[in-house]
Amino acid sequence: MIKGISDMKNTLAHYSTSKLVAFLLFVTLIVAPSLTMAKEIYYGASLASIELTDDEGPIDKISFITLYGRLGAKWSENISGEFRLGLASSKERYADRMLEMKDFGGLYVKVGAPVGENFYPYAIIGKTRGKLGVSVNTPNFAKSSIAKSSSTKSDTSFGFGADVKIFDSVAINLEYINYIDKPVNDFAGFSLGLTFDL
């Protein structure tokens, strides 16, 4: 886990800037007009431990530490919509392979009900797209070379979570989502984050 966090810090500067620009551009051109009709708008960031399971491939099980941003609109007390974009991911080694989660993001709907003033449990469903990058060191006569490949998958995602309000406009977010559930591959994990009301 410590190694994963260290690797994520090393890759954060490389990936977060361009992806943050893309996130803000998407919000400005696509999301912002519809947000004006929402009852409330919120944003936040979460740190997730996402586990990849590959039943038939060379990778049995491996975990990534991923940082992603969130932008959402509350249409009512019980329903909200949310856009997410991965900002950085740790690189993890498995045998002779170096793996990295890329282009992670999606659109989701959250349905819940407040329990008291500070606790809001919910169910979440949506669509996630993610790319797994793989680098392999391969011998090439006198020197070694790096062969790179990637695999992009998308699927319906589902899970559950809760917002715990700690201040008037700030909440801690806890969540578990099965992001991609394919016959062979499975991406799922827990996340911890902060949510801010605008």
What's the confidence (pLDDT) of residue 4? 43
Give the model confidence (pLDDT) of 155-181 as tens digits: 899 999 999 999 999 999 999 999 887
> Which amino acid, residue 36?
T
Contact 136/145 with Cβ under 8 angstroms?
no
- Higher pLDDT pick, 164 / 188: 164
Closest listed residue to residue 65, CA positions, set 25, 6, 152, 113: 6
- Higher pLDDT pick, 154 / 71: 71
Strand locations in 113-169 (E): 119-140, 143-167
Show the DSSP H helices in 60-161 as ranges: none
Q: Which of 12-21, 60-69, 171-180 has the highest mean pLDDT?
A: 171-180
What's the confidence (pLDDT) of residue 142? 46
Question: Which domains does the chain possess?
Answer: 2-197 (2.40.160.20)
- Higher pLDDT pick, 21 / 43: 43
Report pTM.
0.74
Q: What average pLDDT does the segment 43-58 reach?
A: 81
Q: What average pLDDT does the segment 142-157 reach?
A: 67
CA angle 89, 124, 117 (to 5 degrees): 105
Give the model confidence (pLDDT) of 109-123 as tens digits: 999 999 999 999 999
What's the confidence (pLDDT) of residue 78? 93
The two tokens of residue 191 are: 């996340």
Band of residue 2 on the pLDDT scale cut at 50, 70, 90: very low
Tell me: pLDDT of 125 over 80.
yes
